[in-house]
Amino acid sequence: MKFEDKIRVLIVDDSAVMRRIIMTSLMKHSDIEVVGTAANGLLAIEAIKRSSPDIVTLDVEMPEMDGITALREIRKIHPTLPIIMFSSLTQRGAKATMDALTYGASDYVGKPQASSNPADAYKVLEESLIPKIKALCQRESGKVKKASSIKERGAARREALSIPVPEKITTLPSEIASSSSSTKVIRPEGRPLYPVDALCIGVSTGGPAALMKVFELWRTPLTVPIFIVQHMPPKFTTLLAARLTEIGVMPVQEPYDGQEAVAGHAYLAPGGYHLELRRKGTKVFMYLNEDPPENSCRPAVDVLFRSAAKVYGQSLLAVVLTGMGYDGLRGAEDIIRSNGVVLAQDKETSVIWGMPGAIAQADLAEKVLPLEAIPDEILFRTQLK
């Protein structure tokens, strides 16, 4: 592989041992080049100017200038540079990571302990860090294509993305076929838009910032319950729910097993648990389980979508936002078969167009929309009566 085709990585960590572990792990991949290291945020800013990396791994806790402060300074001069935060999976580390994602970090990785077995540390990096580096630095025509920040792209397009509420209800396509399945998913010819009784959202990489944008743009509570699966471990989902409650107009919580769903409330699947919905009479209840991961995820979007399709049928609206992989694809097929509706975020405003791209490429999305247009689209549909 040519030198200029490699993904150029800058490693920022105050631990010399951890820098060496990360570097050794990255150097095993022929398409990755380590272009420098730095021991704190101040040195990282200088290293970025000097080496022009394609992506940065940034430790949260460092002397002189910590990772959060460095991130905010880097974003002033490099709003689109992919940055992966390294933090411990403690309560303190989770809070710092949530702050980082709010301030523009592209993603995060739970930091392996430098004192742990090196083999365990390398496994964590191989399974978590390497795929994210490659996904955030996609290649196009042999060159590295950097992911852009939602904030920067959205600001340039916000005025053009103001969408009017349709004067009359439109009809849906007569046929939507999923390329991921041999079975075609057919909609009745000219089926009108049905009133929406529930909203499901599936999201992964880049999700916290995307969810914050959606909840910020709603000025009034929705008249339906919202169910969300965001790929995150325990503690992180708790903090995300609190952050969404803080910035939005609706309470967001991690549901407890057997809790009744209430309109105007949002429920975020807790890290480590699948979220399923079941109907009892006229009421809908939420149940948590630790069944095996699906698509290597728990919680998994497919689990939520599949159960929601059974409960709400044609009255379900599902939205797939930015994320790596294809979790939600099978569940979206179930929703379409039940005459529900699926929307997907577009490529331009997604940090990674994996999950929404899979929906769009399988022709399961009724609309593929930029992030800033999605809140208004949801609001319009949930107000149909």
For the annotated catalytic residues, the residue numbers are 204, 231, 327
Tallying the residues shown for the chain, one arrives at 385
215-253 as b/e: b if 16+ CB within 10 A: bebbeeebebbbbbbbbbeebbbbbbbebbbeebebebb
Are the beta carbons of 325 and 295 closer than 8 angstroms? Answer: yes
Q: Give the residue among 264, 219, 230 at the shortest CA–CA distance from 98.
A: 230
Residue/partner pairs of 190-197 with CB below 8 Å, 24 or more apart: 191/339, 193/169, 193/341, 193/381, 193/384, 194/314, 194/315, 194/339, 194/384, 195/315, 195/384, 195/385, 196/224, 196/315, 196/316, 196/317, 196/341, 196/381, 196/382, 196/384, 197/224, 197/312, 197/315, 197/316
Are the beta carbons of 334 and 182 closer than 8 angstroms? Answer: no
Q: Distance (Å, rounded) from C-alpha 13 to C-alpha 125?
A: 14
